[in-house]
Amino acid sequence: MLPMIKKARGRVVNMSSSGGRVAIFGGGYCVSKFGVEAFSDSIRRELHFFGVKVSIIEPGNYKTSILGQEALESRMKKLWDRLPQETRDSYGEEYFQTYTKKLVNLMRSAEPRISDVTNSMEHAIVSRSPRIRYNPGLDVKFLYLTLAKLPTPVTDFILSRYLPRPADSV
């Protein structure tokens, strides 16, 4: 498709996440979103010379089907139960319970109206001058982008006060 996009001086709009700017929780989600960010940045710089515009949508916490139908607590419990006993002992049951509770609370506070996200997508596609990055959601503007722009040790310190401590931590 790249030859057609270049010929039409078209658009590329990639869906990332605030998790692609600052990794608050572990797992593969943030890793994949950091990859989307890097890919988008590199092709934006390359395709600029062909008149192609590349935008990244980095929404905050919205209620979408990414969570699936099964309750988050039961999915987390299944993952926890599959871990080796040594890993579970190292983190401890209290870590798991606190981590799961914080994740569930984060998901419960998710914005149900996704119109800010779809409006960003529309703007990126039809605007004469699309933005490079769109950050729909107040949580992105006031929390995630702030954390991403702070010096890394400061962000680490702030997040260390929010995330639970493993049982074997020093």
Catalytic residues: 29
Query: What's the Rg (C-alpha) of the chain?
Result: 19
Decide if 21 contacts 58 (C-beta within 8 A): yes
Bridge partners of 14?
Answer: 56
**What is the full DSSP assignment across 124-152?**
HHH-SS--SEE--SHHIIIIIHHHHHS-H
Give all strands of the β-sheet with 53-57 in edge-to-edge order: 11-15, 53-57, 133-134
Q: What is the DSSP letter of 65?
A: G
Angle at the Cα of 140 from the Cα atoms of 17 and 55, rounded to 5 degrees: 50
